[in-house]
């Protein structure tokens, strides 16, 4: 019989393994993308209410977000959260071959990181912690947030601005991970950096004012009449101009990056009229806010010139703008101690057989030990930090991006990584196609160890914080030192910032043909390969 609250929580997770494995398959199969995670959010809300949590659905004005709370009396308030958004264009079945989920196009969304294992791993931890609190009479409050749209870093800054993180004593942020050396560890000093994402809309709403009239007619009726270049021209100009100026934005240091996505909007028919609306979304990652602002300055100037070229009006809309993250060694030590007590994920015979089958289907010689060794090994946080620092200049204090960084400015926060299943690369092999890691995230024997380790580690961490006032005091003192006074960085968007939930984000739709991905499945677009 369990003798400690942590042992009780671990036993709960083991006893409910079949149930939470099914839960994960549900969210993994929903695979709903950013701002459109309707079924996923509804599922989490129902499950939390079933377990006695008070839940606010649609928190922060975000339809697919939620905020849940359960209390066992006066005491500390600790939190975790779920993410559940998937990525368009990554529809993959839980299979050892490259194939979409049944009835869907490969262009539909799928879980890549996978956030399905993030959300269920955190939920399992929460419910196990609740069971241990009830059993041992531990006082305190559990809070749990549904954080949609992480792939566009959309919700946490909104929850923070609206006050949802106020009053928390500690937050555990968890993510399945694969980027060495941060597989089974916690971040020490080098947390994620700044992020910006903005949609530029080009609107050609006065094409008649472009040239003088082509004839004495008030309407340029001829298909060959001169017309305003229009929104498509502005978007193409912005796209090419930004490609041409990217090298001039910043020096090639610090690991910054810039990506774009063209949103589907405006006309869907090629006519002799100029396109009225075209939209492009730029997202950028940088170690510092100053670097992020330098990128923004060039983007804004490019957009203004591109709008003028196409005779368009420019509309700018923020998607996200976050601050660099803040470390907390006190929480990191507690969390890693609990991770060390659980151990790294281990892959059994079924997982190994599936991994070898994937390799065979790719034309590779199946390996005796097909999983990346780092997936089954712990790495001490200071050692991971030292290896990570080998890749960056001494001045750089933050690296890559994730919107958990906003949480670090509201309460002491730890960033936990548990390895997702990844295959070892044979010598001379160029690398696995993306579908392989996506499929591993849906194959139960491969992904369930990640969920189990995450759930047990988070539960143990929350219980230690709830029952050890000194640990919370150390975490709070460090938090105040790192964020107080001149070190404080204010939010980068106003408190009334409205997330762009009304824009044309990819989603599943219901039509006369039934429920389908918003890009209909058509034969010429659905050709598949076996690799």
- Which of residues 294, 322, 350 is at a domain's end? 322
149 and 182 assigned to the same domain: yes
What percent of the residues of the chain are helix, what percent strand, and what percent coil, each to the nearest 5? Answer: 40, 15, 45
| 211 assigned to some structural domain | yes
pTM here?
0.95
Neighbour tally for 381: CB within 10 Å: 21
42 and 158 assigned to the same domain: yes
| 354 assigned to some structural domain | yes
Cα–Cα dist 332/432, whole Å: 33
CB 265 within 8 A of CB 278: yes
171 and 73 assigned to the same domain: yes
Cα–Cα dist 333/341, whole Å: 12
pLDDT band, residue 284 (cuts 50/70/90): very high
CB 34 within 8 A of CB 149: yes
pLDDT band, residue 3 (cuts 50/70/90): confident
DSSP string for 227-271: ----HHHHHHHHHHHHHHHGGGTS-S-S--EEEEEEE--S--S--
- Which DSSP letter does residue 25 get? H
Going edge to edge, which strands form the sheet with 257-263? 257-263, 277-286, 194-203, 313-322
CB 152 within 8 A of CB 34: yes
- Which of residues 271, 290, 322 is at a domain's end? 322
Which tokens belong to 251?
């020096």
Cα–Cα dist 115/495, whole Å: 27
Return the H-helix or E-strand segment holding 314: strand 313-322
| 148 assigned to some structural domain | yes
250 and 217 assigned to the same domain: yes
Give the C-alpha distances (Å, rounded to integers) separating 320 from 40, 195, 309, 327.
22, 7, 27, 21
Task: Determine the length of the chain.
Answer: 531
**Burial of 131: CB neighbours in 10 Å, binned 0-12, 13-18, 19+:** buried
Cα–Cα dist 424/329, whole Å: 32
- Across the range 240-265, mean pLDDT stands at 91
Return the H-helix or E-strand segment holding 198: strand 194-203
| 252 assigned to some structural domain | yes
**Residue 277's domain is classified under what CATH number?**
3.30.70.360
pLDDT band, residue 391 (cuts 50/70/90): confident
| 523 assigned to some structural domain | no
SS3 225: coil
Cα–Cα dist 174/116, whole Å: 12
Tell me the sheet residues that pair with 320: 197
SS3 127: helix
201 and 189 assigned to the same domain: no
- Beta-sheet strands, E only, within 76-169: 77-82, 141-146
CB 198 within 8 A of CB 319: yes
Quick: pLDDT tens for 82-127. 999 999 999 999 999 999 999 888 899 999 999 999 999 999 999 9
Q: Match 């003798």 to its residue by tokens.
A: 3
**Residue 12's domain is classified under what CATH number?**
3.40.630.10
| 311 assigned to some structural domain | yes
317 and 374 assigned to the same domain: no
SS3 32: coil
Residues near 422 by beta carbon (within 8 Å), at least 6 away in sequence = 178, 371, 372, 375, 437, 440
| 515 assigned to some structural domain | no
**Cα 438 off chain centre by:** 15
271 and 169 assigned to the same domain: no
331 and 478 assigned to the same domain: yes
108 and 230 assigned to the same domain: no
Quick: pLDDT tens for 308-346. 999 999 999 999 999 999 999 999 999 999 999 999 999
| 443 assigned to some structural domain | yes
**Burial of 7: CB neighbours in 10 Å, binned 0-12, 13-18, 19+:** middle
User: For residue 529, what pLDDT is reported?
Assistant: 46
Cα–Cα dist 224/239, whole Å: 27
Cα–Cα dist 92/436, whole Å: 9
Summary count for the chain: helices (H), strands (E) = 13, 13
Quick: pLDDT tens for 339-386. 999 999 999 999 999 999 999 999 999 999 999 999 999 999 999 999
Of the candidates 446, 442, 435, the residue with the CA atom closest to the CA atom of residue 350: 446
| Residue 144 lies in domain | 5-193+324-487
User: For residue 514, what pLDDT is reported?
Assistant: 86
CB 195 within 8 A of CB 406: no
Indicate whether 222 pLDDT > 70: no
b/e burial code for range 493-510 (CB count within 10 A of at least 16 → b): beeebebbbeeebbbbee
User: For residue 530, what pLDDT is reported?
Assistant: 40
Indicate whether 58 pLDDT > 90: yes
335 and 447 assigned to the same domain: yes
Cis peptide leading into 114, omega within 30 of 0? yes
Return the H-helix or E-strand segment holding 319: strand 313-322
CB 420 within 8 A of CB 447: yes
104 and 14 assigned to the same domain: yes
- Which DSSP letter does residue 298 get? H
Quick: pLDDT tens for 129-161. 999 999 999 999 999 999 999 999 999 999 999
Beta pairing, strands 508-511 & 194-203: unpaired
267 and 395 assigned to the same domain: no
Lowest mean pLDDT among 163-167, 265-269, 470-474, 517-521: 265-269
Q: How many domains does the chain have?
A: 2
């Amino acid at each position: 019989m369990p003798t400690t609250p942590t042992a009780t929580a671990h036993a709960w997770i083991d006893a409910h393994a079949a149930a939470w494995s099914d839960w994960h398959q549900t969210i993994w199969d929903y695979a709903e993308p950013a701002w459109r995670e309707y079924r996923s959010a509804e599922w989490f809300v129902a499950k939390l209410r079933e377990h006695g949590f008070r839940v606010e659905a649609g928190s922060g004005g975000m339809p697919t977000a939620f905020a849940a709370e359960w209390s066992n009396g006066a005491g500390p308030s600790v939190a975790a959260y779920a993410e559940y958004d998937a990525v368009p264009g990554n529809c993959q079945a839980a299979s050892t071959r490259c194939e979409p989920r049944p009835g869907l196009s490969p262009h539909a969304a799928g879980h890549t990181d996978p956030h399905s294992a993030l959300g269920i791993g955190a939920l399992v931890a929460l419910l196990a912690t609740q069971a241990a609190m009830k059993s041992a009479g531990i006082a305190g409050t559990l809070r749990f947030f549904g954080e949609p749209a992480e792939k566009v870093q959309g919700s946490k800054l909104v929850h923070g601005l609206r006050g949802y993180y106020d009053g928390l004593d500690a937050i555990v942020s968890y993510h399945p991970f694969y980027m060495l050396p941060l597989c089974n560890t916690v971040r020490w000093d080098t947390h994620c950096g700044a992020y910006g994402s903005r949609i530029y809309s080009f609107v050609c709403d006065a094409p008649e004012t472009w040239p003088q009239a082509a004839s004495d007619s008030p309407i340029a009726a001829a298909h060959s009449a001169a017309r305003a270049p229009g929104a498509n021209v502005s978007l193409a100009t912005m796209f090419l101009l930004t490609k041409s100026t990217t090298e001039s934005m910043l020096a090639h240091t610090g690991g910054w990056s810039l990506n774009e996505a063209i949103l589907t909007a405006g006309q869907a028919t090629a006519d002799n009229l100029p396109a009225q609306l075209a939209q492009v979304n730029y997202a950028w990652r940088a170690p510092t806010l100053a670097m992020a602002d330098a990128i923004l300055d060039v983007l804004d100037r490019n957009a203004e010139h591109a709008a003028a070229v196409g005779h368009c009006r420019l509309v700018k809309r923020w998607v996200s703008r976050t601050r660099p993250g803040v470390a907390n060694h006190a929480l990191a030590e507690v969390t890693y101690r609990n991770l060390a007590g659980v151990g790294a994920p281990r892959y059994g015979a079924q997982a190994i057989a599936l991994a070898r089958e994937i390799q065979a289907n790719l034309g590779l010689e199946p390996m005796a030990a097909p999983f990346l060794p780092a997936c089954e090994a712990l790495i001490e946080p200071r050692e991971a930090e030292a290896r990570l620092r080998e890749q960056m200049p001494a001045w750089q204090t933050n690296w890559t991006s994730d919107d958990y960084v906003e949480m670090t400015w509201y309460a002491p926060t730890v960033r936990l990584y548990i390895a997702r299943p990844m295959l070892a690369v044979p010598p001379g092999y160029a690398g696995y196609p993306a579908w392989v890691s996506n499929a591993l995230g849906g194959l139960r024997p491969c992904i369930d160890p990640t969920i189990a380790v995450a759930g047990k580690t988070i539960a143990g961490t929350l219980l230690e914080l709830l029952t050890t006032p000194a640990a919370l005091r150390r975490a709070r003192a460090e938090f105040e030192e790192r964020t107080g006074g001149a070190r404080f960085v204010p939010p980068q968007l106003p408190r009334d910032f409205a997330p762009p939930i009304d824009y044309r984000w990819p989603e599943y739709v219901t039509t006369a043909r039934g429920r389908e991905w918003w890009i209909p499945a058509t034969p010429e677009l659905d050709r598949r390969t076996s690799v």
